[in-house]
Amino acid sequence: MCRNIRTLFNFDPPATSVEIRQASLQFVRKLSGFQKPSKINEEVFNHAVEKVAADAQNLLGSLVTNSEPHNREIEAQRAHAQAIKRFGLNKHVT
Protein backbone atom coordinates (compact mmCIF):
# COMPACT_ATOMS: atom_id res chain seq x y z
CA MET A 1 0.00 0.00 0.00
CA CYS A 2 2.63 2.55 1.02
CA ARG A 3 6.19 3.12 -0.01
CA ASN A 4 8.67 3.96 2.67
CA ILE A 5 8.54 7.57 3.79
CA ARG A 6 11.88 9.22 3.06
CA THR A 7 13.83 11.61 5.24
CA LEU A 8 13.14 15.20 4.19
CA PHE A 9 15.34 17.15 6.61
CA ASN A 10 18.73 18.64 5.79
CA PHE A 11 18.79 18.35 2.01
CA ASP A 12 19.97 20.82 -0.56
CA PRO A 13 17.69 21.97 -2.06
CA PRO A 14 15.23 21.72 0.86
CA ALA A 15 12.13 19.55 0.66
CA THR A 16 9.32 21.08 -1.37
CA SER A 17 5.74 21.44 -0.20
CA VAL A 18 4.82 18.72 -2.72
CA GLU A 19 7.32 16.28 -1.18
CA ILE A 20 6.05 17.09 2.30
CA ARG A 21 2.44 16.57 1.23
CA GLN A 22 3.31 13.25 -0.45
CA ALA A 23 5.02 12.02 2.73
CA SER A 24 2.02 13.18 4.76
CA LEU A 25 -0.35 11.32 2.45
CA GLN A 26 1.75 8.16 2.84
CA PHE A 27 1.69 8.56 6.62
CA VAL A 28 -2.09 9.01 6.79
CA ARG A 29 -2.59 6.08 4.39
CA LYS A 30 -0.45 3.88 6.62
CA LEU A 31 -2.26 4.93 9.79
CA SER A 32 -5.74 4.60 8.36
CA GLY A 33 -5.16 1.51 6.24
CA PHE A 34 -6.85 3.26 3.30
CA GLN A 35 -5.23 3.71 -0.09
CA LYS A 36 -8.21 5.84 -1.05
CA PRO A 37 -10.89 6.56 1.57
CA SER A 38 -14.60 6.03 0.99
CA LYS A 39 -16.75 9.09 0.25
CA ILE A 40 -17.91 9.17 3.87
CA ASN A 41 -14.30 9.27 5.14
CA GLU A 42 -12.82 11.42 2.37
CA GLU A 43 -13.19 14.80 4.11
CA VAL A 44 -11.64 13.71 7.41
CA PHE A 45 -8.88 11.81 5.56
CA ASN A 46 -7.96 14.87 3.46
CA HIS A 47 -8.10 17.10 6.54
CA ALA A 48 -5.66 14.77 8.30
CA VAL A 49 -3.28 14.88 5.32
CA GLU A 50 -3.32 18.69 5.30
CA LYS A 51 -2.82 18.89 9.08
CA VAL A 52 0.08 16.43 9.02
CA ALA A 53 1.63 18.32 6.09
CA ALA A 54 1.37 21.64 7.95
CA ASP A 55 2.89 20.14 11.09
CA ALA A 56 5.67 18.49 9.06
CA GLN A 57 6.44 21.80 7.32
CA ASN A 58 6.64 23.46 10.73
CA LEU A 59 8.89 20.70 12.07
CA LEU A 60 11.27 20.84 9.10
CA GLY A 61 11.44 24.62 9.36
CA SER A 62 12.24 24.48 13.07
CA LEU A 63 14.90 21.76 13.17
CA VAL A 64 18.53 22.82 13.53
CA THR A 65 21.70 20.97 12.57
CA ASN A 66 25.40 21.69 12.33
CA SER A 67 25.98 19.15 9.58
CA GLU A 68 26.22 19.98 5.91
CA PRO A 69 23.07 19.42 3.85
CA HIS A 70 22.88 16.15 1.93
CA ASN A 71 23.05 16.29 -1.86
CA ARG A 72 19.88 14.77 -3.33
CA GLU A 73 21.63 13.26 -6.36
CA ILE A 74 24.35 11.60 -4.31
CA GLU A 75 21.79 10.21 -1.84
CA ALA A 76 19.67 8.85 -4.72
CA GLN A 77 22.74 7.13 -6.18
CA ARG A 78 23.55 5.60 -2.78
CA ALA A 79 19.97 4.37 -2.38
CA HIS A 80 20.04 2.88 -5.88
CA ALA A 81 23.35 1.11 -5.22
CA GLN A 82 21.97 -0.25 -1.94
CA ALA A 83 18.83 -1.53 -3.69
CA ILE A 84 20.93 -3.30 -6.33
CA LYS A 85 23.06 -4.84 -3.58
CA ARG A 86 19.96 -5.95 -1.69
CA PHE A 87 17.66 -7.02 -4.52
CA GLY A 88 19.96 -7.48 -7.52
CA LEU A 89 19.54 -5.93 -10.93
CA ASN A 90 16.02 -5.54 -12.23
CA LYS A 91 15.86 -7.79 -15.26
CA HIS A 92 12.34 -6.83 -16.34
CA VAL A 93 12.00 -6.29 -20.03
CA THR A 94 9.06 -4.20 -21.21
Amino acid 3: pLDDT = 60
d(CA 16, CA 46): 19
In a domain, 74, yes or no: yes
Amino acid 2: pLDDT = 47
Range of the domain at 56: 11-87
The pTM of this model reads: 0.78
In a domain, 48, yes or no: yes
d(CA 89, CA 85): 8
Alpha-carbon separation of residue 79 from 38, 44, 74, 92 (angstroms):
35, 34, 9, 19
Q: What's the total number of domains in the chain?
A: 1
In a domain, 56, yes or no: yes
In a domain, 54, yes or no: yes
Which residue positions in the chain have pLDDT lower than 50?
1-2, 94
